[in-house]
A = this chain, B = another copy of it.
Amino acid sequence: MVRIVRFHETGGPEVLRLEQVAERDPGPSEVRIRVEAIGLNRAEVMLREGVYHERPVLPSRIGYEAAGVVDALGKGVTSVKQGERVATVPSFALSQTQQGVYGESAVVPAEVAVPYPASLSPIQGAAIWMQYLTAYGALVHYGGLGPDDVALITAASSSVGIAAIQIAKQRGATVIATTRHSAKRAALLDIGADHVVATEEEGLAARVMEITDGGGARIVLDPIAGPMLTVLCGAAAPHGTIFEYGALHPGETAYPLMPMLAKSLTITGYQMLDFVLDPARFGAAREYIFAGLNSGALTPVIDRTFALEQIVDAHRHMESNTQCGKIVVTV
């Protein structure tokens, strides 16, 4: 028997339960991982609430991102070896509700179990893929960010936000980071942001225009949408691109047609899955990310760790929006 996090009804953090279940054996093309650390993501909050595109089958497992040691190989698996340390890459190849990785043991498709640099701890290993793939894809692959660019990173204290700051700085761009209140200002400057705008204390568009001498930000990376999107159009440079990679705002988003026409702006719905499902793209992304991790240009920032028994508190903390960096559960 192993301890696995499951939920029997959708709802708040309190629906998560740590339960004893029989350990599974990996099927063909699967691997079993002895989990050492679990990285928390918004996708899990959404699954738990029943609002994710994958509907939970109750009782439902949960979790996309874990680091651990391969302890059993299914038939035909040659990509990893028993005893190898791997981290799971969030992917639609993995069904959260069936194969969710919150627990002591996880059986996942072999393709999502990827070895990570030996210099990283398991806690750091659980904080690589979602954040760096998301930021890399938008900023580097699609955005072609370079030294002459200004990048505007919203929700910058999230794990993706911090990863985006690190990648944008690594590319030599000027980085403007947003956070709601100035409490996180010092931390974001420390991480490398050139400028921090506290959006509930300052006018974002006006501040960005002031910082950029009226030029605006060529690339914007935003997971919020909602009324913020119109503000971001105000902060964007003519012909700029706004990457929307989430839908954190709960209500409707108005489409800012007039600002988009006036400045010839582009809005792209962006998913890191673009860099998971295509082997060539994933290879290039992994190479970029590992080079950065090895050089130190990219360093996962861990907000706080929780024990597996504290999974409810860990989810509560994620929803508090007080964190700065990745929340990791250790096993």
Contacts and interface: CB of A to CB of B under 8 A. Distances in A.
Interface SS of chain A: mixed
A310 interface: no
A269 B264 contact: yes
Given A269-B264, A270-B264, A247 B255 contact: no
A301 interface: no
A261 interface: yes
Contacts of A258: 247
A267 interface: yes
State how many copies of this chain the complex holds: 2
B266 A269 contact: yes
Interface string A254-277: 111111111111111111001000
Contacts of A246: 261
A17 B255 CA distance: 37
Given A264-B268, A269-B265, A271-B264, A254 B255 contact: yes
Contacts of A270: 261, 264
15 contacts: A225-B255, A244-B260, A247-B258, A252-B254, A252-B255, A254-B254, A254-B255, A255-B267, A259-B269, A261-B271, A264-B274, A265-B268, A266-B266, A266-B267, A267-B267
